[in-house]
């Protein structure tokens, strides 16, 4: 027993020393960051900025690989099934927390097959209506929807996406009935509301802001907890008549399950350092996002909470599964 008690601490010291050596020598070759969508857009732009900073710090290329398809599942699957050697990572949106609840067959399990490294930034959606809708506030929209159940239509960029779930959560919390009209992509949804094909949309901000500024759409609220500094005149949905309403969107970094903890910690530390840089913060905030840089533990807890929350919304709204 005495011999065993001596062996255990020594083996632990050896393991810790090996981990430190691993972290210090890493990376020794190019690192790949998979973006599960086509090039362009906010996430891709910010990912490339972070990759540039990683390359400068590590003296090894951090390469962006765009692998779109199936709502982000193609790229996410590729990372989940890749070798967990610290040379392949995923940067994905909060849609990855929804996927397990809306797809009938998923080639990977987002919770079991991926390790959350750090949340990169958070954002929110904007509730907009066509100017023909006689509602100038969230409260007035709720009253209108209750007075005319099933008469108002709301658009989404596809069944089971963030705009769809945000609207269903709104309906559930307000006791309103609006009809879902899914489109193929955000550009189509924005155009549909501008053309008054549908009246309501929980929108990605970038696409609708020009229409809001030109008066072709009316902004009623945002889905964040607090107002955005870039749009201080737009209230939150929560302060406008739906207490506790919040629907956050985010982008985060993931590693394949089995990746050494030392590597995950090393990448998190680098990401947090980069997100604290003034030029990086300015770029992210300028896109109406909030830099995050959470620890792996914090991001893991948030990710699992969102997976469970989205599952409840999908179940209660009876959103049909996709193939």
Q: What is the 3-state secondary structure (H, E, C) of 111-173?
A: CCCEEEEEEEEEEEEEEEECCCCCCCCHHHHHHHHHHCCCCCEEEECCCCCHHHHHHHHHHHH
Q: Is 225 helix (H, G, I), strand (E, B) or coil?
A: coil
Kindly list the structural domains of the chain, giving each domain's residue range(s) and its CATH number in brackets, ordered by start. 2-122+249-317 (3.40.190.150), 124-240 (3.40.190.10)
Average pLDDT over residues 188-217: 95
Handedness of CA 224, 227, 229, 234 (dihedral sign): positive
In the Cβ-directed half-sphere of 161, how many Cα atoms lie within 13 Å? Answer: 24
Average pLDDT over residues 111-120: 98
Pair 97, 310: CB distance under 8 Å: yes
Predicted local confidence at residue 135, as pLDDT: 98
Predicted local confidence at residue 11, as pLDDT: 40
Average pLDDT over residues 155-182: 96
Residue 4 has pLDDT above 60, yes or no: no
More confident of the two residues 172 and 2: 172
Average pLDDT over residues 256-264: 98
In the Cβ-directed half-sphere of 183, how many Cα atoms lie within 13 Å? Answer: 20
State pLDDT tens for residues 9-30.
444 344 344 445 565 789 999 9
What confidence tier does 7 reach under pLDDT thresholds 50, 70, 90?
very low
Could you say which DSSP state residue 70 is in? Answer: G
State pLDDT tens for residues 86-112.
999 999 999 999 999 999 999 999 999
Pair 237, 92: CB distance under 8 Å: no
Percent pLDDT > 90 in the chain is 83
Q: What is the mean pLDDT of the chain?
A: 92
């Amino acid at each position: 027993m005495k011999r065993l008690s001596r062996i255990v601490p020594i083996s632990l010291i050896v393991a810790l020393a090996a981990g430190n050596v691993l972290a210090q020598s890493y990376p020794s070759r190019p690192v790949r960051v998979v973006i599960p969508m086509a090039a362009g857009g906010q996430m891709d732009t910010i990912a490339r900025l972070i990759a540039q900073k990683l390359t400068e710090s590590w003296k090894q290329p951090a390469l962006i690989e765009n692998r779109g398809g199936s709502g982000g599942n193609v790229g996410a699957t590729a990372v989940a099934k890749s070798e967990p050697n610290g040379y392949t990572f995923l940067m994905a949106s909060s849609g990855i927390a929804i996927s397990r609840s809306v797809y009938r067959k998923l080639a990977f399990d987002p919770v079991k097959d991926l390790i959350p490294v750090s949340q990169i930034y958070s954002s929110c959606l904007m509730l907009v209506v066509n100017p023909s809708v006689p509602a100038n506030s969230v409260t007035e929209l709720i009253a209108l929807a209750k007075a005319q159940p099933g008469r108002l239509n709301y658009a989404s960029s596809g069944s089971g996406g963030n705009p769809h779930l945000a609207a269903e959560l709104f309906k559930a919390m307000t006791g309103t009935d609006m009809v879902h009209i899914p489109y193929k992509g955000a550009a189509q949804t924005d155009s549909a509301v501008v053309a008054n094909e549908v009246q309501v949309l929980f929108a990605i901000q970038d696409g609708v802001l020009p229409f809001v500024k030109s008066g072709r759409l009316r902004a009623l609220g945002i889905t964040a907890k607090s107002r955005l500094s870039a749009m201080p005149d737009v209230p939150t949905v929560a302060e406008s008549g739906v207490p506790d309403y919040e629907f956050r969107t985010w982008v985060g970094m993931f590693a394949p399950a089995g990746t050494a903890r030392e590597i995950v910690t090393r990448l998190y530390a680098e990401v947090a350092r980069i997100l604290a840089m003034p030029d990086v913060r300015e770029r992210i905030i300028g896109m109406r996002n909030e830099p995050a840089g959470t620890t792996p533990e914090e991001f893991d807890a948030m990710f699992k909470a969102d997976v469970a929350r989205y599952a409840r919304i999908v179940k209660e709204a009876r959103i049909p599964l996709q193939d």
